[in-house]
Amino acid sequence: MMIVMKESATTEQVEAVIRQVEQVGARAHLSRGELHTVIGAIGDRDHVANLEVEGFPGVDHVVPITRPYKLASLQFKREQYSVFDIGGRKVGGSAFMMIAGPCTIESRDQMLTAAAAVHEAGAQLLRGGAYKPRTSPYSFQGLGEGGLRLLAEAREETGMPVVTELMDIRDLDPILEVADVIQVGARNMQNFTLLTEIGRAGRPVILKRGLSATIDELLMAAEYVLKEGTETVILCERGIRTFETAYRFTLDLMAIPVLKQRTHLPVIVDPSHAAGRRDLVLPMSLAAAAAGADGIIVEVHPEPEQAICDGPQQLRTGEFADYLRQVEAVAALAGKQVAETV
Ligand code: PEP
Ligand code: MN
């Protein structure tokens, strides 16, 4: 339930509502807008039903939130989409964000070459994995802290904010030293203790949809992060497992408009991991932009043939600028601009 206070509401009146929320055993989530202060009453449905704050002084109106997720719901933001600022780059609303870089950080040369190429072409955020969730325990698991140091160097050289995956909460501190955005991979989407700890860290998050997760499960996972006070959560559709074997996963483009009906959080798409094949990355990116995605996260490598991981799906650095121009053109048709890189 959301309690919208009058413009003229005093601090005492806001505090009285918060006390009432807490008294019925719910949690109060305060957000102060330009005109109105809104108090979210979060908790057990039966507790919230007993609130009866409609008549309280300073209360303008009360909006019931019918979805199982509250902070993630579009209702919670009064039907306004969130726009986030990540190191001066915007995502959400009319801002389309292009995030690009290699699957995994392999070497100084590979990381810096990829970073320079995507930066020059106009990408806003740089990706690169130092801790990799690999299906086989015998596959390369990432360079770990050594990789983070290379990512920090690429960040320094290009000035681009960076995103990298956190798989294990024990790696949080080194990741917080480097990452502007923490990625939660598909395989950890429902690792609730990890989500809670990440939510407490306060850093922006890209939350990837689990391989077999429904849209509402993705939103409930986001709720775990939001509940701890992190407001900057970007959702990522990256393909789901279906019976089809002609490509790696099935990119669920319908998730974009459906998520837009349910949440204020920005929605981006990862065509690389969905496709598993380079030739499908451009058409799926164009389709995602046309369907209203707020951005794309795509893998780009200077020499995909030499890549340690996900080579067949990574775009070549040399083709990235042309790829980006085409995606930008379709995003513009959907009313979104790739923000200027500063
Ligand atoms: C990745 O982005 O590097 C990755 C492993 O993606 P996913 O978690 O979607 O498989
Ligand atoms: Mn990859």
Model confidence pLDDT, tens digit, residues 30-55: 888 777 888 999 888 788 888 899 99
Q: Which residues lie across from 165 on neighbouring strands?
A: 183
Q: pLDDT band at 340, cuts 50/70/90?
A: low
Comparing 126 with 70, the larger pLDDT belongs to 126
pLDDT in tens, 56-112: 999 998 988 878 899 999 998 888 999 999 999 999 999 999 999 999 999 999 999
pLDDT at 341: 45
Ligand 1 pocket (Cβ < 6 Å) reads 103, 129, 133, 165, 185-187, 208, 238, 270, 273
- Output the CA 57–ligand 1 centroid distance in Å: 49
Distance, in Å, from the CA atom of 221 to the CA atom of 223, rounded to the nearest integer, reads 5
In the predicted model, is pLDDT for residue 337 greater than 60?
yes
pLDDT recorded at residue 43: 85
Ligand 1, atom nearest to 208 Cα: 9
130 alpha carbon – ligand 1 mean position (Å):
12
> For residue 326, what pLDDT is reported?
98
Residue 62 CA to ligand 1 center (angstroms) comes to: 40
Domains of the chain, with CATH numbers?
A: 2-63 (3.30.70.1140), 84-338 (3.20.20.70)
* Ligand closest to CA 188: 1
Kindly provide the b/e burial profile for residues 259-285, where b requires at least 16 CB atoms within 10 angstroms of the residue's own CB: bbebbbbbbbbbbbbbbeebebbbebb
Stretch 239-262: mean pLDDT:
97
> What crossing angle do the helices spanning 108-121 and 145-158 adopt, rounded to 10°?
40
d(CA 56, CA 341) in angstroms, rounded, equals 47
For ligand 1, atom 3, the nearest C-alpha belongs to 103
Can you give the pLDDT at residue 36? Answer: 80
Ligand 1 midpoint to CA 15 (Å): 43
245's tokens: 């074997």
Cα 35 to Cα 31, 118, 242, 336, distances in angstroms: 11, 40, 46, 27
- Residue 238: CA atoms inside 13 Å, Cβ hemisphere, count? 25
> What integer best gives the mean pLDDT of the chain?
95
Q: pLDDT for 203-237, tens place per residue?
A: 999 999 999 999 999 999 999 999 999 999 999 99
Tell which one of 106, 163, 208 to mutate to probe ligand 1, the residue whose CB is within 8 A of the most ligand atoms.
Answer: 208
Q: Which ligand is nearest to the CA of 312?
A: 2
* 180 pLDDT above the threshold of 70: yes
Of 229, 211, 233, whose CA–CA distance to 221 is shortest? 233
